Structure 1
């Protein structure tokens, strides 16, 4: 089992059990399905996107951003690793009478693709893709499919971010590890205890460098909100 699977499958099963609508509901935050965390950023870049263009959102969760773009007239494919997330997303799309092509896929293991997208969207997925190899695979898959704008929202490191007991932040890599009793394939040992990759919180400048080295041109950046295009 990969390090990112167990947390996410349990989270979306809990959403379904408790009648919640999106990831942030699990943490007592006050977002609604329509007022999702990266909506303001999406609205700020809408005029730079191809009207009615083809969109791929990966790591879509229960689909609030995908549904928002579909309601704006975009043609949206949206994928997530967790079947329970996609089941909820399809229901919420039906309730809002919007057409989104949802499917279950692992963004870290996408097969070669030929379909091109005017927009590829990340709504706080990249922070959960932690290892160098997984991030390289993801960014390569994005670049292969992108014929327009990469719209990325991800958590980044800030000096006031607090890591609780049971977590270890490696400032050199930006990786936050979580202590575990059952080591995954990517787990490491620290002070005699096992930790598995949990999040990657890069500083904004390091995120920009990562994107540039992966073949993107950054058009604008505000912390973890990035608008980029494929270079070359």
Structure 2
């Protein structure tokens, strides 16, 4: 089981059990109880194409952004790793009379495809994809799925000097990786200072995120912190 699976499985099971609608509802300080008030909505309203287009959203969670797009006439394929998340997303879309093609897929192991999109969207998924190899696979999959004039629209959590990492967490400022203590050398664990850790988050500085995207074959059109619009190079 990969490092990113248990946390997300537990979170979406809790969402389903407690009748919540989206990831932020798990955190009292961010809780809105409003499915429509997802975190990067204002950013999407600014940067989405004016005309309906074909969109792939990966890491869609319970489908708030996907439903937002579908309600505006976009044709949306949306994927998430966790079956419980997709089950909730389908229910929320059906309740709103929206047509979204939801499916369960691991974005770190996406199959080859010839289908391309006008927009590939990430609404706070990339921060949970931590290792260099996994991030490279994801960004390659995104680039392959973008039409030549398509846009990669990305929202991701960034390095914040005021963020406090609790005792079970360790932040590596060189790589931007936040590790979480684990009790055994399970898959993906690393051994640091006689303690086992699992990759947990990647919190990069803006310039490091931009450099990563450029290495992966993207041109950054605009960036405000972790809100990025990029296009394919070549």
**Structure 1-normalised TM-score?**
0.97
Q: Verify the 8 A CA contact 1:76 1:101 in the aligned structure 2.
A: yes
Is 1:17 the equivalent of 2:17?
yes
Deviation at 1:186, TM superposition (A): 1.3
Deviation at 1:30, TM superposition (A): 2.7
Deviation at 1:218, TM superposition (A): 0.4
Q: Verify the 8 A CA contact 1:50 1:118 in the aligned structure 2.
A: no
Using the alignment, how far apart are the partners of 1:182 and 1:85 within structure 2?
28
Q: Give SS of 2:187's match.
A: coil
Give the aligned length.
230
For residues 90-145 of structure 1, what are the alpha-carbon distances to aligned partners after superposition, in whole Å with 9 as ceiling and x for unaligned?
00001111110000000000011110100000000000000000000000000000
Using the alignment, how far apart are the partners of 2:14 and 2:128 within structure 1?
19
Query: What corresponds to 1:190 in structure 2?
Result: 192
Using the alignment, how far apart are the partners of 1:183 and 1:14 within structure 2?
27
Q: Residues 164-179 of structure 1 correspond to what in structure 2 (within 5 A)?
A: 164-179=166-181
**Structure 2-normalised TM-score?**
0.96
Q: Give SS of 2:37's match.
A: coil
Query: What corresponds to 2:121 in structure 1?
Result: 121
Unpaired segments of 5 or more residues in structure 1?
none
Q: Give SS of 1:177's match.
A: strand
Is 1:226 the equivalent of 2:232?
no
Deviation at 1:50, TM superposition (A): 5.9
Deviation at 1:182, TM superposition (A): 3.7
Unpaired segments of 5 or more residues in structure 2?
none
Poorly superposed stretches of 4+, deviation over 4 Å? none
Q: Residues 99-114 of structure 1 correspond to what in structure 2 (within 5 A)?
A: 99-114=99-114
Deviation at 1:184, TM superposition (A): 3.0
Query: What corresponds to 1:157 in structure 2?
Result: 159
Query: What corresponds to 1:72 in structure 2?
Result: 72
Query: What corresponds to 2:85 in structure 1?
Result: 85
Query: What corresponds to 2:31 in structure 1?
Result: 30
